[in-house]
Structure 1
Protein backbone atom coordinates (compact mmCIF):
# COMPACT_ATOMS: atom_id res chain seq x y z
CA UNK A 1 0.00 0.00 0.00
CA UNK A 2 1.31 3.44 -0.84
CA UNK A 3 2.10 5.99 1.85
CA UNK A 4 -0.69 8.26 0.58
CA UNK A 5 -3.27 5.45 0.81
CA UNK A 6 -2.09 4.55 4.31
CA UNK A 7 -2.37 8.18 5.43
CA UNK A 8 -5.86 8.45 3.94
CA UNK A 9 -6.99 5.33 5.79
CA UNK A 10 -5.50 6.61 9.04
CA UNK A 11 -7.24 9.96 8.61
CA UNK A 12 -10.58 8.24 7.92
CA UNK A 13 -10.46 6.18 11.13
CA UNK A 14 -11.83 7.88 14.22
CA UNK A 15 -10.19 7.79 17.64
CA UNK A 16 -11.49 5.41 20.27
CA UNK A 17 -12.97 8.35 22.20
CA UNK A 18 -14.88 9.59 19.13
CA UNK A 19 -16.15 6.06 18.45
CA UNK A 20 -17.31 5.79 22.07
CA UNK A 21 -19.30 9.02 21.63
CA UNK A 22 -20.87 7.71 18.42
CA UNK A 23 -21.57 4.33 20.07
CA UNK A 24 -23.52 6.13 22.81
CA UNK A 25 -25.41 8.14 20.16
CA UNK A 26 -26.47 4.91 18.44
CA UNK A 27 -27.39 3.30 21.77
CA UNK A 28 -29.50 6.37 22.57
CA UNK A 29 -31.14 6.22 19.14
CA UNK A 30 -31.93 2.52 19.62
CA UNK A 31 -33.44 3.24 23.05
CA UNK A 32 -35.53 6.11 21.63
CA UNK A 33 -36.60 3.83 18.76
CA UNK A 34 -37.77 1.24 21.31
CA UNK A 35 -39.45 3.96 23.39
CA UNK A 36 -41.55 4.92 20.35
CA UNK A 37 -43.10 1.45 20.54
CA UNK A 38 -43.68 1.71 24.31
CA UNK A 39 -45.29 5.13 23.82
CA UNK A 40 -47.39 3.79 20.92
CA UNK A 41 -46.05 6.46 18.56
CA UNK A 42 -45.76 5.13 15.01
CA UNK A 43 -44.74 8.55 13.64
CA UNK A 44 -41.78 8.70 16.06
CA UNK A 45 -40.88 5.10 15.12
CA UNK A 46 -40.85 6.16 11.46
CA UNK A 47 -38.30 8.91 12.09
CA UNK A 48 -35.74 6.23 12.99
CA UNK A 49 -36.36 4.28 9.78
CA UNK A 50 -34.31 5.32 6.73
CA UNK A 51 -36.23 6.00 3.53
CA UNK A 52 -34.35 3.16 1.77
CA UNK A 53 -34.48 0.70 4.69
CA UNK A 54 -34.89 -3.07 4.49
CA UNK A 55 -36.66 -4.92 7.33
CA UNK A 56 -36.48 -8.70 7.09
CA UNK A 57 -39.41 -9.51 9.38
CA UNK A 58 -42.31 -9.86 9.22
CA UNK A 59 -41.66 -10.76 5.61
CA UNK A 60 -39.33 -8.66 3.48
CA UNK A 61 -40.24 -4.97 3.63
CA UNK A 62 -38.40 -2.37 1.58
CA UNK A 63 -38.63 1.34 2.23
CA UNK A 64 -40.01 3.36 5.12
CA UNK A 65 -43.61 3.39 3.87
CA UNK A 66 -43.72 -0.40 3.51
CA UNK A 67 -42.14 -0.93 6.93
CA UNK A 68 -44.57 1.46 8.63
CA UNK A 69 -47.54 -0.21 6.93
CA UNK A 70 -46.30 -3.61 8.13
CA UNK A 71 -45.57 -2.46 11.68
CA UNK A 72 -48.72 -0.35 12.20
CA UNK A 73 -50.61 -3.30 13.72
CA UNK A 74 -48.07 -3.49 16.56
CA UNK A 75 -48.86 0.11 17.48
CA UNK A 76 -52.55 -0.60 18.03
CA UNK A 77 -53.89 -0.92 21.55
CA UNK A 78 -52.74 0.60 24.82
CA UNK A 79 -49.86 -1.79 25.58
CA UNK A 80 -46.88 -2.60 23.37
CA UNK A 81 -46.79 -6.28 22.41
CA UNK A 82 -43.00 -6.39 22.92
CA UNK A 83 -40.00 -4.26 23.84
CA UNK A 84 -36.29 -4.27 23.10
CA UNK A 85 -33.03 -2.78 24.31
CA UNK A 86 -29.51 -2.82 22.85
CA UNK A 87 -27.01 -5.12 24.51
CA UNK A 88 -24.19 -4.44 22.06
CA UNK A 89 -23.41 -1.57 19.68
CA UNK A 90 -20.44 -1.58 17.31
CA UNK A 91 -19.29 0.90 14.65
CA UNK A 92 -17.11 0.91 11.58
CA UNK A 93 -13.78 2.65 12.19
CA UNK A 94 -14.92 5.65 10.13
CA UNK A 95 -18.13 6.00 12.16
CA UNK A 96 -20.40 5.78 9.10
CA UNK A 97 -22.34 2.63 10.03
CA UNK A 98 -23.28 1.00 13.31
CA UNK A 99 -24.66 -2.35 14.37
CA UNK A 100 -26.90 -2.90 17.39
CA UNK A 101 -28.30 -6.11 18.82
CA UNK A 102 -30.26 -7.17 21.87
CA UNK A 103 -33.20 -9.14 23.18
CA UNK A 104 -36.85 -8.68 22.29
CA UNK A 105 -39.08 -9.22 25.32
CA UNK A 106 -42.79 -9.79 25.88
CA UNK A 107 -44.62 -7.53 28.37
CA UNK A 108 -43.98 -10.11 31.12
CA UNK A 109 -40.22 -9.76 30.52
CA UNK A 110 -39.73 -13.12 28.81
CA UNK A 111 -37.12 -12.90 26.04
CA UNK A 112 -38.47 -14.35 22.80
CA UNK A 113 -36.02 -13.30 20.10
CA UNK A 114 -32.95 -11.25 19.20
CA UNK A 115 -32.96 -8.16 17.00
CA UNK A 116 -30.07 -6.93 14.89
CA UNK A 117 -30.09 -3.49 13.28
CA UNK A 118 -27.67 -1.63 11.04
CA UNK A 119 -27.71 2.14 11.53
CA UNK A 120 -26.47 4.88 9.20
CA UNK A 121 -25.95 8.54 10.05
CA UNK A 122 -27.95 10.71 7.64
CA UNK A 123 -26.96 14.12 6.23
CA UNK A 124 -28.52 15.85 9.26
CA UNK A 125 -26.42 13.73 11.65
CA UNK A 126 -29.36 11.56 12.82
CA UNK A 127 -28.91 7.81 13.08
CA UNK A 128 -31.49 5.76 11.14
CA UNK A 129 -32.01 2.02 10.65
CA UNK A 130 -31.09 0.79 7.18
CA UNK A 131 -31.32 -2.96 7.89
CA UNK A 132 -33.31 -4.71 10.62
CA UNK A 133 -33.66 -8.41 11.34
CA UNK A 134 -35.02 -10.50 14.16
CA UNK A 135 -34.50 -14.14 14.87
CA UNK A 136 -35.03 -16.84 17.46
CA UNK A 137 -32.77 -17.19 20.48
CA UNK A 138 -30.20 -19.95 20.44
CA UNK A 139 -29.97 -22.39 23.35
CA UNK A 140 -27.33 -20.40 25.26
CA UNK A 141 -29.32 -17.19 24.89
CA UNK A 142 -32.51 -18.86 26.12
CA UNK A 143 -30.68 -20.02 29.25
CA UNK A 144 -29.36 -16.50 29.92
CA UNK A 145 -32.51 -14.65 28.87
CA UNK A 146 -34.05 -14.72 32.35
CA UNK A 147 -31.36 -12.27 33.50
CA UNK A 148 -32.22 -8.57 33.13
CA UNK A 149 -30.37 -6.52 30.55
CA UNK A 150 -27.14 -5.12 31.99
CA UNK A 151 -27.90 -1.62 30.71
CA UNK A 152 -31.63 -1.26 30.10
CA UNK A 153 -32.97 1.77 28.27
CA UNK A 154 -34.25 4.42 30.64
CA UNK A 155 -36.58 7.33 30.12
CA UNK A 156 -34.87 10.56 28.97
Structure 2
Protein backbone atom coordinates (compact mmCIF):
# COMPACT_ATOMS: atom_id res chain seq x y z
CA UNK A 1 0.00 0.00 0.00
CA UNK A 2 2.80 2.36 0.88
CA UNK A 3 4.46 1.80 -2.49
CA UNK A 4 1.17 2.23 -4.31
CA UNK A 5 0.53 5.52 -2.46
CA UNK A 6 3.94 6.83 -3.43
CA UNK A 7 3.33 5.86 -7.06
CA UNK A 8 -0.07 7.64 -7.02
CA UNK A 9 1.52 10.79 -5.55
CA UNK A 10 4.21 10.74 -8.24
CA UNK A 11 1.56 10.33 -10.94
CA UNK A 12 -0.33 13.34 -9.61
CA UNK A 13 2.85 15.44 -9.63
CA UNK A 14 3.50 14.43 -13.24
CA UNK A 15 -0.06 15.35 -14.23
CA UNK A 16 0.30 18.80 -12.65
CA UNK A 17 3.65 19.32 -14.36
CA UNK A 18 2.20 18.29 -17.70
CA UNK A 19 -0.76 20.68 -17.43
CA UNK A 20 -0.59 23.03 -20.43
CA UNK A 21 -0.45 26.81 -19.93
CA UNK A 22 -3.80 28.41 -19.30
CA UNK A 23 -5.47 29.79 -22.41
CA UNK A 24 -7.75 32.81 -22.51
CA UNK A 25 -10.53 33.85 -24.79
CA UNK A 26 -9.71 36.92 -26.94
CA UNK A 27 -12.22 39.10 -25.12
CA UNK A 28 -12.15 42.84 -25.98
CA UNK A 29 -14.63 43.58 -23.19
CA UNK A 30 -12.06 42.57 -20.58
CA UNK A 31 -9.61 45.11 -22.02
CA UNK A 32 -12.29 47.81 -22.04
CA UNK A 33 -13.00 46.95 -18.40
CA UNK A 34 -9.28 47.24 -17.60
CA UNK A 35 -9.16 50.67 -19.26
CA UNK A 36 -12.22 51.89 -17.37
CA UNK A 37 -10.78 50.62 -14.08
CA UNK A 38 -7.42 52.25 -14.90
CA UNK A 39 -9.08 55.64 -15.47
CA UNK A 40 -11.23 55.29 -12.35
CA UNK A 41 -8.15 54.48 -10.27
CA UNK A 42 -6.45 57.63 -11.59
CA UNK A 43 -9.41 59.80 -10.54
CA UNK A 44 -9.64 58.20 -7.10
CA UNK A 45 -6.01 57.61 -6.09
CA UNK A 46 -3.98 59.88 -8.38
CA UNK A 47 -2.70 59.85 -11.94
CA UNK A 48 0.80 58.46 -11.47
CA UNK A 49 -0.31 56.14 -8.68
CA UNK A 50 -2.70 54.50 -11.15
CA UNK A 51 0.04 54.20 -13.75
CA UNK A 52 2.40 52.60 -11.22
CA UNK A 53 -0.16 50.09 -9.98
CA UNK A 54 -1.19 48.87 -13.44
CA UNK A 55 2.18 48.80 -15.24
CA UNK A 56 4.05 45.63 -16.09
CA UNK A 57 7.61 45.43 -14.81
CA UNK A 58 8.99 45.95 -18.34
CA UNK A 59 6.52 48.69 -19.35
CA UNK A 60 7.81 51.70 -21.29
CA UNK A 61 6.52 55.22 -21.80
CA UNK A 62 7.70 58.45 -23.43
CA UNK A 63 8.41 61.66 -21.50
CA UNK A 64 9.20 62.46 -24.39
CA UNK A 65 12.27 60.20 -24.42
CA UNK A 66 11.65 56.49 -24.01
CA UNK A 67 11.99 55.38 -20.39
CA UNK A 68 11.31 52.32 -18.28
CA UNK A 69 7.98 53.26 -16.81
CA UNK A 70 8.39 52.02 -13.24
CA UNK A 71 11.78 53.72 -12.83
CA UNK A 72 10.33 57.02 -13.99
CA UNK A 73 6.99 56.74 -12.21
CA UNK A 74 8.42 56.06 -8.76
CA UNK A 75 9.87 59.59 -8.80
CA UNK A 76 6.63 61.31 -9.80
CA UNK A 77 4.13 62.97 -7.48
CA UNK A 78 0.48 62.85 -8.44
CA UNK A 79 -0.87 66.11 -9.91
CA UNK A 80 -3.77 67.76 -8.05
CA UNK A 81 -6.21 66.44 -10.68
CA UNK A 82 -5.72 63.58 -13.09
CA UNK A 83 -6.09 63.47 -16.83
CA UNK A 84 -9.18 61.46 -17.82
CA UNK A 85 -9.47 59.17 -20.81
CA UNK A 86 -11.74 56.74 -22.59
CA UNK A 87 -10.93 54.06 -25.20
CA UNK A 88 -12.67 54.19 -28.57
CA UNK A 89 -11.52 50.86 -30.00
CA UNK A 90 -9.68 47.80 -28.73
CA UNK A 91 -7.74 45.18 -30.71
CA UNK A 92 -6.96 41.77 -29.20
CA UNK A 93 -4.66 38.99 -30.37
CA UNK A 94 -6.08 35.60 -31.28
CA UNK A 95 -4.67 33.97 -28.13
CA UNK A 96 -6.15 36.69 -25.88
CA UNK A 97 -2.79 37.60 -24.34
CA UNK A 98 -2.02 40.94 -26.03
CA UNK A 99 -4.23 43.93 -26.73
CA UNK A 100 -4.05 47.51 -27.95
CA UNK A 101 -6.49 50.28 -27.07
CA UNK A 102 -6.71 53.81 -28.37
CA UNK A 103 -8.97 56.75 -27.64
CA UNK A 104 -9.16 60.33 -26.36
CA UNK A 105 -7.89 62.01 -23.22
CA UNK A 106 -8.71 65.32 -21.58
CA UNK A 107 -6.79 67.30 -18.95
CA UNK A 108 -8.36 69.39 -16.20
CA UNK A 109 -7.26 72.57 -18.06
CA UNK A 110 -9.43 71.56 -21.03
CA UNK A 111 -6.61 70.48 -23.38
CA UNK A 112 -7.28 67.30 -25.32
CA UNK A 113 -5.37 64.58 -27.11
CA UNK A 114 -5.24 60.88 -27.90
CA UNK A 115 -3.57 57.86 -26.36
CA UNK A 116 -2.56 54.36 -27.35
CA UNK A 117 -1.92 51.69 -24.74
CA UNK A 118 -0.55 48.16 -25.22
CA UNK A 119 -1.78 45.60 -22.71
CA UNK A 120 -0.52 42.11 -21.80
CA UNK A 121 -2.06 39.42 -19.58
CA UNK A 122 -0.05 38.05 -16.70
CA UNK A 123 -0.08 34.42 -15.55
CA UNK A 124 -3.16 35.07 -13.42
CA UNK A 125 -5.10 36.54 -16.33
CA UNK A 126 -4.81 40.18 -15.21
CA UNK A 127 -4.12 42.91 -17.74
CA UNK A 128 -1.07 45.16 -17.25
CA UNK A 129 0.00 47.86 -19.65
CA UNK A 130 3.37 47.47 -21.35
CA UNK A 131 3.45 50.67 -23.41
CA UNK A 132 1.60 53.95 -23.03
CA UNK A 133 1.91 57.00 -25.21
CA UNK A 134 -0.12 59.81 -26.72
CA UNK A 135 -0.03 63.34 -27.97
CA UNK A 136 -1.91 66.59 -27.65
CA UNK A 137 -4.40 67.65 -30.33
CA UNK A 138 -6.05 70.94 -31.21
CA UNK A 139 -9.42 69.17 -31.26
CA UNK A 140 -10.19 65.68 -30.06
CA UNK A 141 -10.69 62.83 -32.48
CA UNK A 142 -14.20 61.78 -33.38
CA UNK A 143 -15.29 59.07 -30.96
CA UNK A 144 -17.68 56.29 -32.00
CA UNK A 145 -21.07 56.09 -30.35
CA UNK A 146 -20.23 52.63 -29.05
CA UNK A 147 -16.90 51.15 -28.02
CA UNK A 148 -15.59 48.69 -30.60
CA UNK A 149 -13.57 45.52 -30.08
CA UNK A 150 -11.83 43.55 -32.81
CA UNK A 151 -10.04 40.19 -32.60
CA UNK A 152 -7.17 39.12 -34.84
CA UNK A 153 -7.40 36.05 -37.03
CA UNK A 154 -5.38 33.20 -35.54
CA UNK A 155 -1.81 32.86 -36.72
CA UNK A 156 0.29 30.12 -35.21
CA UNK A 157 4.05 30.12 -35.37
CA UNK A 158 6.19 27.34 -36.81
CA UNK A 159 6.73 24.15 -34.84
CA UNK A 160 9.40 24.83 -32.19
CA UNK A 161 12.83 23.49 -33.05
CA UNK A 162 14.65 20.98 -30.93
CA UNK A 163 13.72 17.67 -29.28
CA UNK A 164 10.16 16.98 -28.08
CA UNK A 165 9.38 17.81 -24.43
CA UNK A 166 10.38 15.24 -21.84
CA UNK A 167 7.72 13.05 -20.28
CA UNK A 168 5.77 15.06 -17.73
CA UNK A 169 6.61 18.44 -19.27
CA UNK A 170 4.05 20.73 -20.87
CA UNK A 171 4.43 21.12 -24.64
CA UNK A 172 5.69 24.53 -25.74
CA UNK A 173 3.06 27.03 -26.87
CA UNK A 174 3.69 28.48 -30.33
CA UNK A 175 4.10 32.26 -30.43
CA UNK A 176 0.88 33.84 -31.62
CA UNK A 177 2.06 36.93 -33.56
CA UNK A 178 -1.50 37.78 -34.61
CA UNK A 179 -1.12 41.25 -33.06
CA UNK A 180 2.29 42.91 -33.33
CA UNK A 181 3.55 46.39 -32.51
CA UNK A 182 6.59 48.62 -32.83
CA UNK A 183 7.70 51.87 -31.23
CA UNK A 184 10.45 53.77 -33.03
CA UNK A 185 12.04 56.91 -31.62
CA UNK A 186 14.20 59.20 -33.78
CA UNK A 187 17.22 61.14 -32.54
CA UNK A 188 15.19 64.37 -32.59
CA UNK A 189 12.66 62.90 -30.15
CA UNK A 190 9.91 62.24 -32.69
CA UNK A 191 8.36 58.78 -32.56
CA UNK A 192 6.02 56.40 -34.33
CA UNK A 193 3.95 53.71 -32.67
CA UNK A 194 2.39 51.14 -34.98
CA UNK A 195 0.08 48.20 -34.29
CA UNK A 196 -0.65 45.55 -36.93
CA UNK A 197 -3.28 42.81 -36.84
CA UNK A 198 -3.31 39.55 -38.83
CA UNK A 199 -6.34 39.22 -41.14
CA UNK A 200 -5.70 35.68 -42.35
CA UNK A 201 -3.48 36.52 -45.33
CA UNK A 202 -1.52 39.55 -44.14
CA UNK A 203 -1.27 42.31 -41.59
CA UNK A 204 -3.58 45.32 -41.43
CA UNK A 205 -2.16 48.49 -39.87
CA UNK A 206 -4.79 49.28 -37.25
CA UNK A 207 -2.92 51.98 -35.31
CA UNK A 208 -0.29 54.30 -36.76
CA UNK A 209 0.55 57.16 -34.38
CA UNK A 210 3.15 59.74 -35.41
CA UNK A 211 4.38 62.24 -32.84
CA UNK A 212 6.58 65.14 -33.91
CA UNK A 213 9.78 66.23 -32.23
CA UNK A 214 9.36 68.32 -29.05
CA UNK A 215 9.40 72.04 -29.79
- Does the pair score TM above 0.5? yes
Q: Distance in 2 between matches of 1:143 and 1:65?
A: 30
Equivalent pairs counted in the alignment come to 124
- Which structure has the bigger radius of gyration? 2
2:37 match: 32
5+ residue gaps, structure 1? 1-13
Of Structure 1 and Structure 2, which has the larger fraction of its residues in strand?
2
Q: Give the Cα separation in 1 of the matches to 2:140 and 2:70.
A: 35
Unaligned runs of 5+ in 2: 1-22, 148-215
Equivalent residue, structure 2, for 1:114: 114
Higher percent of residues as helix = 1
Deviation at 1:65, TM superposition (A): 3.1
Choose from 65, 70, 79 the match for 1:76.
79
Distance of 1:114 and 1:127 partners within structure 2: 21
Q: Distance in 2 between matches of 1:47 and 1:60?
A: 19
Give me the CA root mean square deviation: 2.8
Shift of the 93–111 alpha-carbon distance from structure 1 to 2, 3 Å rule, reads farther
TM norm structure 2: 0.49
Q: Which residue of 2 aligns with 1:128?
A: 128
Show the counterpart of 1:9: none
The 3 A distance-change label for structure 1 pair 111 and 101 is: farther
Task: Output the CA distance in 2 between the equivalents of 1:63 and 1:113.
Answer: 20
- Call closer, same or farther: CA 1:45–1:151 in 2, change over 3 Å: farther
Q: TM-score, normalised by structure 1?
A: 0.66
